[in-house]
Structure formats: C-alpha cells, structure tokens
Amino acid sequence: MKSNLLVVDDEPVARQSLSDILKLEGYNVNSAPNGQAAVEYVRMYPVDLMIVDLRMPGMDGLEVIQVVNQIAPETEVILLTAFSSTETAVQALRLRIHDYLTKPASPAQIIASVKKGLARRSGKSHISNAGTNDVVDDAIVIFNLKDGTNVDLSRRQIKHKSKIEHLTPAEGRLLRILMENEGKVFSHRELVLLVQGYDTTQREAPEILRPLVSRLRHKLEKFPSLSERIVSVRGTGYLYEGDK
C-alpha cells in the first residue's frame, strides 16, 4: 500500500516541485497552501507523513505541528525552513518532529528523510493513554530491535531475554530523544535543554551532559545491539544510528 504524504508550503512553485519529486517515488501526495488548510486535511484524511514549511502567513509550521500532534499523533513530520536557528530547531524537536531540514534541501536529502520517517512510523508503537490532554508526551513508545531487545521508553525499561534494566527519568528522556530522531546529530547544548530543561553555554554543556551519557552507556552495556547505536560525534554531540 502506498504511503500518504502531505506537502504544506505557501509558495506554489516549491509546493509543486516537492509534490512532483515525491510522486515520482511512488507516494500518494496531496498538498496544502497554508497551515489552516493542512490542519483541515489531516482532520479528514489519514496522513502518514507531512512536510511543512516553517514560515507561512497565518498559521506557521510550528503551530501546524502542535495541532497535528493532537489530532493525528502517529503522523510523522519533516520541517523545512530557510531560516535556521538553534531556537527554532529546539522548539521543533520538543514537538518530536522526525526531521528538520534547511532550504534548499536536495531531492536526495528529502527522499532519504521521508523514507526514514516512514520506517520510523512503522517501527514504533504509539498508543495514547486514556484521559490525557498531552497525547504525544504520554504516549507509549516501544522499539523492538532485530535481536529481540525491547525498549519501552514510557516505562523506561529495556529487556532482552532474562536481562532487564531500568532507566532514571533523565536517562529515559535522553534515550527517547535520540531514538525518536534516528540519524540526527544533537549538540550538547540542545540535549541539556531537551533533557534537563535549562539552557547553558556551548562550552559548559558537554561537562553537564557527560556524566548522564556515561551512566546511560554503562546500563546499555548489557544490550550491545542498542549501546553500539549511541554514537558520539566529536566536538559536536550525539546521535542514534539505525540499521545500516
């Protein structure tokens, strides 16, 4: 079955170009000229993944994502912007988007990101708890690795056969951020903000983060298929590396 994609951009040429690229890859592609139209479309039709421009008149990209997270939390999102900034990136990542690409992104970059987003959607289970107002944060998020390792990020529990390990809240948040954004490099400063909840300098951030990463890696030593995927990017930060 073909995946359903939605392209949201107020620029007609960009919207058409992106739609054509994705249609050539065999996807079902629809488009929306603004944020309000995108939200109305998602309310009526299933969307596996949407690509949203950040800067649009009226409802901007971040506002669209906030609404879509509530009405269709399983829809993966790629944010496109010509105005890249750390603040915007952190805002977007807090909304648990799949990817954040800076314009002009090449067709190859976009196609690769779409494929990863759709794989991520099919590879994890999101089941919202009844009676919650924050569907995304309270969702059950489970990853099942090929070797049978089960990573239950809502319970902060990792299991493989008879081996089991429990994570602290901070360790769980760190692993969840990395696993939910496979292949994306996070700076030390971004991770401190997303995991610990406060901003710091680029110089101080590695020192704050290092003990937490060390404790998490120590616990993951029991699960080689998982621990090997937490990769340090020298002088920058960390990423979660998926199957090669």
Mean pLDDT within 188-205: 80
Residue closest to 212 by CA, chosen among 178, 162, 164, 161: 178
In a domain, 130, yes or no: no
Report which DSSP code applies to 236.
T
Instruction: Judge if 176 and 114 occupy the same domain.
Output: no
Closest to 223 (Cα-Cα) out of 182, 165, 153: 165
Does residue 35 lie within any of the structural domains? yes
Domain of 12: which CATH number?
3.40.50.2300
CATH code (residue 216): 1.10.10.10
Max CA separation in the chain (angstroms): 56
Burial string for 166-194 (b: 16+ CB within 10 Å, else e) reads ebeeebbbbbbbbbbbbebebbbbbbbbb
b or e along 121-155 (b: 16 or more beta carbons within 10 Å of the residue's beta carbon)?
beebeeeeeeeeeebbeebebbbebeeebebbbbe
Q: 45 in a domain, yes or no?
A: yes
Among 47-51, 94-98, 145-149, 177-181, the least confident range: 94-98
Residues 116 and 45 in one domain: yes
In a shared domain, residues 119 and 10: yes
Indicate whether 8 and 103 sit together in one domain.
yes
Is 131 within the bounds of a domain? no
Of residues 219 and 182, which shows the higher confidence score? 219
Q: What are phi and psi of 7, to 5 degrees?
A: -105, 125
pLDDT for res 144: 87
Last residue of a domain, one of 61, 92, 123: 123
Strands 76-81 and 99-102: parallel
* Final residue before a domain boundary, out of 123, 150, 168: 123
Number of domains in the chain: 2
In a domain, 215, yes or no: yes
Question: Please, how many CA atoms are within 13 Å of residue 136, restricted to the half-sphere of its CB?
Answer: 20
Both 90 and 144 in one domain: the answer is no
Supply the range of the domain harboring residue 143.
Answer: 139-240
Residue 116, token pair as written in the block: 């990863």
Strand partners, 143: 124, 151
Confidence of residue 94 (pLDDT cuts 50, 70, 90): low
**Is the confidence at residue 187, as pLDDT, over 80?**
yes
Check pLDDT > 50 for residue 129: no
32 shares a domain with 117 = yes
Same domain? 147 vs 57: no
Same domain, 63 and 106: yes
Q: Is 63 contained in some domain?
A: yes
Residues 185 and 144 reside in one and the same domain: yes
On the question of pLDDT at 103 being above 90, the answer is: no
- 182 and 146 both lie in a single domain: yes
Task: Average the pLDDT over 212-225 and give the result.
Answer: 92
Mean pLDDT throughout 119-141?
Answer: 48
What's the pLDDT at 80? 86
User: What's the Cα-to-Cα distance from 95 to each of 67, 184, 210, 218, rounded to whole Å?
Assistant: 10, 15, 25, 29
| Domain assignment present for 195 | yes
CA atoms of 207 and 47, how far apart (whole Å): 41
Measured CA to CA in angstroms, residue 169 lies from 187, 195, 209 at distances of 20, 9, 14
Asked whether residue 129 is assigned to any structural domain, the reply reads: no
Q: Does residue 178 carry a pLDDT above 80?
A: yes
